[in-house]
Structure 1
């Protein structure tokens, strides 16, 4: 015969295993209510592709667009003119991605900038400030050793409606 305590342990374990096997669902248990489940209605949608490279140009989750980083590439090559020209082109590429998926610059909420030379930070900020408007998105900036294709700057942004 199974005691009440052991039966409770067995049933609790069965509920836990069953809940875990359902995938990414949240199981909410209260002492006085039956278990309820909540499922996210916003599965990621992978958009575009990186061509020969293994990444999507953006992923939309609900109304949030997560964009891959952009460097100052135009017509398959890095633009000439240094940090200012590269920053402008990277932001133009971001804007093109935004427009492609129904967003605009004012929807940007977060950016991450990577620069190979932090001495270029003032020039980067000058272009960034001219291309985006107040209220500016939150931003992080990092000095890095190298970037793809010998770029001086890479910018990655998140937009939300």
Structure 2
């Protein structure tokens, strides 16, 4: 089995910090996308939980598309929120994105990097 790494050179985080991990890793039909925050061009996009949720999920889908995967291939999503009160608002965005065929999911509350209200990672599968 071959392992393919997307963005293994690492990305850029806030303040120009080098991020020392791959954006995604693919093996045996599985794609694991690293946790995505509401960042564009290395900076957190300010906004409420709805806007930040859309951007974090969009960042995941852009990486998935780069690897040849789509929303129908998502089997599991991990969500980290900084406040339990964001749960219902995040669910609205989640339903907009995944519709009537949602993947399995875990949602938890924890501290995140400054100004991030949400982080999302996805696991996808396509038969090799």
Q: TM-score, normalised by structure 1?
A: 0.70
Structure with the bigger percentage of helix = 1
* Structure 1: unaligned runs, 5 residues or longer: 1-41
Alignment of 1:159 with 2:124, yes or no, is yes
Alignment of 1:90 with 2:56, yes or no, is yes
Report which of the two structures shows the higher radius of gyration computed on alpha carbons.
Answer: 1
* Alignment partner, residue 44 of structure 1: 3
Q: Quote the offset at 1:148 in angstroms.
A: 2.2
Deviations 1:81-139 (A, max 9, x none): 21111100011101100110101111100000000001110001111111112210000
Structure with the bigger percentage of strand = 2
CA distance in 1, matches of 2:113, 2:20: 14
* Alignment partner, residue 111 of structure 1: 77
Count of aligned pairs between the two proteins: 119
Query: Tell me, what secondary structure is at the counterpart of 1:148?
Result: coil
* Alignment partner, residue 121 of structure 1: 87
CA distance in 2, matches of 1:133, 1:126: 10
* Alignment partner, residue 46 of structure 2: 80
* Alignment partner, residue 63 of structure 1: 29
CA distance in 1, matches of 2:114, 2:109: 16
Which of 96, 102, 109 is equivalent to 1:143? Answer: 109
Q: Which 4+ stretches in 1 moved above 2 angstroms?
A: none
Query: Tell me, what secondary structure is at the counterpart of 1:106?
Result: helix
Contact 1:111 1:156 (C-alpha < 8 Å) held by counterparts: yes
Output the aligned Cα RMSD: 1.2
